[in-house]
């Protein structure tokens, strides 16, 4: 209170406290926000223009909606939590949700080698490939030119001397040689022999439709000829007929134009096959045996990896959990070193060390022994478990160290007073309390090792191979590496079938994780 000029006591208004919710923004922070959002919006505009030009309306809509939401969230004061959640949510949608949905959608199709195109493009390609030179076709003199877009075009001179560009007559700007052949056109660049050689496939694919006459083609970039398809398409019946022998090819549910004798024309097209890919996993007698073997090994590998890694990590954590132990921090630092090296590098080093002929293990440790660590099915399985133990125990060591330090010392002292021995103390006090905090991480570790592609790919490549398998499979292949080989390895890449198997793996891992987390919750209720 203060005295005023009239002798009255006045009340000074207290200063309004500055809001503590982060709503006040300095000029520098606001400028930085505008610059960053301006860069984001510039990238968004680029993405919108690119997706619009490509006709990809899904990406166009996602980028547009995401940009509007981002601008609202970061310029609004009402959704403070959204500023932290939005980036992670967008990445989750792009790299997880979209991938899962795209994989599931592909699982119901026959997409893969020979089925990459839609039906109209496949039909166009079949007709173009079937074209043959018309007997007694007049010889055209041609030059291959490129316009501003860089695409190849045919500048042709017919026997009568008329010049056309992609079938359209041209008169102005034409340069002819002494024989009357058009060799250049204003605004276009004529390809020389070196250019024709480097773009040979594009030259062979050049095709200029000339109506009922056929199409103008070239094989050398200097002379052209008329060609007509050897197949005739009937749109009403959706058939292709060979004009030479009369054989009819009908559109089939397998995504091919197929004849009555089973022969088909390539390429095919992407077709919806329903649950055929999922049923094939169980009904294909050639694939069933190898699939069951890989399925069992995947479970065994994941379970043993978690068991061995957790056991060794816990053992080392217990050994270094003694207060007053000299050099304890140094030992802990050394034990974490394998975790600091990228896993694929460590896997490659182990592959070299386990080499049967030149490896460090055979030549140095075993005095020149010839042990097939990576070539025998059982030894290869033991080798990948050993390598995975080396890669995984530091993580479990860190987790167990933190969990042990979180156990109240009063419980340990009470157990000693009750006369519990070391083993009884560990089994009835330490381990149950340890599992309460580590069980969710063990479930996550099992899910990770269930799809541990890195170790298998870099150590054994899935080998040694199983000779009787209908596809390239090995004794150490997991389900995920089996899917990789179906999709990318081998002569025929079956992306639809691989997507179906990926969807099954997703369901299996999700089910196991849900079951494990439910048991974890019951464990927490028991020991909380």
Do residues 131 and 228 make contact, with C-beta atoms less than 8 angstroms apart? yes
State the average pLDDT over residues 66-95. Answer: 90
DSSP 156-225: EE-TT--EEETTEE--TTEEE-TTS-EEEETT-EE--HHHHHHTHHHHHH--EE-GGG-EEEESSSSEEE
Task: Provide the pLDDT confidence category of residue 25 given band limits of 50, 70 and 90.
Answer: low
Comparing 131-229 with 281-527, is the CATH topology the same?
no
Q: What is the pLDDT of residue 129?
A: 84
| Domain boundaries along the sequence of the chain | 27-107, 131-229, 281-527
Judge whether residue 107 has pLDDT over 90. yes
- Which residues lie below 8 Å from residue 117, measured CB to CB, with a gap of 6+? 125, 267, 269, 270
Do residues 196 and 203 make contact, with C-beta atoms less than 8 angstroms apart? yes
- Tell me the CATH number for domain 281-527: 1.10.3720.10
pLDDT tens figures, 426-479: 888 888 889 888 999 999 999 999 999 999 999 999 989 888 888 888 999 999
- Which residues lie below 8 Å from residue 274, measured CB to CB, with a gap of 6+? 108
Q: What is the pLDDT of the chain when averaged over all its residues?
A: 88
Q: At what angle do helices 495-527 and 98-107 cross, to 10 degrees?
A: 130
pLDDT tens figures, 145-194: 998 778 899 999 988 889 999 888 998 889 999 888 999 999 899 998 88
pLDDT tens figures, 405-426: 888 878 777 877 777 777 887 8
pLDDT tens figures, 325-380: 888 889 999 999 988 899 999 999 999 999 999 999 999 999 999 999 999 999 99
Q: What is the pLDDT of residue 16?
A: 53
Q: What is the pLDDT of residue 109?
A: 94
Q: 439: which DSSP letter? A: H
pLDDT tens figures, 191-217: 988 888 888 888 888 888 888 788 888
Q: What is the pLDDT of residue 78?
A: 84
Task: Provide the pLDDT confidence category of residue 505 given band limits of 50, 70 and 90.
Answer: very high
- Tell me the CATH number for domain 131-229: 2.40.430
Task: Provide the pLDDT confidence category of residue 50 given band limits of 50, 70 and 90.
Answer: very high
Q: Report which secondary-structure segment, H or E, holds 232.
A: strand 231-234
């Amino acid at each position: 209170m203060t005295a005023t000029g009239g002798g009255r006591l006045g009340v000074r208004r207290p200063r309004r406290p500055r809001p503590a919710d982060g709503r006040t923004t300095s000029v520098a922070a606001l400028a930085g926000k505008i610059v960053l959002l301006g860069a984001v919006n510039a990238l968004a505009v680029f993405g919108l223009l690119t997706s619009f030009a490509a006709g990809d309306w899904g990406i166009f809509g996602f980028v547009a909606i995401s940009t509007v939401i981002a601008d609202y969230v970061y310029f609004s004061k009402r959704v403070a939590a959204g500023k932290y959640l939005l980036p992670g949510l967008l990445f989750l949608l792009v790299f997880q949700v979209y991938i899962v949905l795209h994989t599931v959608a592909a699982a119901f199709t026959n997409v893969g080698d020979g089925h990459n195109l839609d039906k109209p493009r496949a039909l166009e390609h079949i007709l173009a490939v079937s074209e043959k030179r018309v007997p007694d076709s007049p010889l055209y003199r041609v030059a291959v030119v490129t316009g501003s877009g860089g695409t190849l075009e045919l500048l042709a001179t017919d026997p009568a001397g008329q010049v056309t560009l992609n079938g359209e007559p041209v008169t102005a700007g034409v340069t002819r040689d002494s024989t009357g052949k058009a060799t250049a056109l204003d605004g276009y660049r004529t390809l020389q022999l070196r250019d024709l050689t480097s773009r040979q496939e594009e030259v062979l694919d050049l095709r200029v439709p000339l109506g009922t006459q056929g199409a103008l083609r070239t094989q050398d970039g200097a002379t052209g000829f008329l060609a007509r398809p050897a197949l005739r398409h009937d749109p009403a019946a959706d058939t292709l007929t060979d004009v030479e022998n009369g054989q009819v090819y009908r559109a089939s549910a397998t995504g091919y134009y197929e004849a009555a004798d089973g022969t088909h024309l390539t390429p095919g097209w992407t077709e919806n096959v329903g649950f055929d890919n999922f049923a094939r996993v169980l009904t294909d007698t050639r694939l069933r045996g190898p699939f069951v073997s890989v399925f069992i090994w995947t479970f065994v590998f994941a379970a043993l990896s978690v068991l061995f890694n957790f056991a060794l990590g816990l053992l080392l954590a217990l050994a270094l959990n003694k207060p007053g132990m000299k050099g304890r921090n140094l030992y802990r630092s050394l034990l974490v070193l394998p975790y600091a090296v990228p896993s694929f590098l460590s896997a490659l080093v182990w592959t070299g060390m386990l080499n049967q002929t030149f490896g460090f293990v055979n030549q140095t440790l075993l005095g020149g022994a010839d042990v097939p660590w990576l070539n025998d099915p059982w030894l290869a399985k033991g080798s990948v478990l050993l390598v995975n133990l080396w890669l995984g125990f530091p993580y479990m060591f860190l987790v167990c160290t933190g969990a042990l330090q979180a156990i109240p010392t009063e419980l340990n002292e009470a157990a000693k007073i009750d006369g519990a021995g070391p083993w009884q103390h560990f089994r009835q006090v330490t381990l149950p309390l340890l599992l309460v905090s580590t069980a969710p991480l063990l479930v996550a570790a099992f899910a990770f090792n269930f799809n541990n592609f890195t170790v298998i790919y870099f150590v054994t490549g899935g080998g040694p191979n199983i000779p009787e398998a209908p596809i390239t499979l090995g004794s150490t292949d997991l389900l995920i590496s089996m899917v990789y080989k179906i999709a990318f390895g081998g002569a025929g890449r079956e992306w639809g079938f691989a997507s179906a198997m990926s969807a099954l793996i997703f369901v299996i891992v999700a089910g196991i994780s849900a079951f494990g987390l439910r048991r974890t919750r019951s464990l927490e209720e028991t020991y909380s």
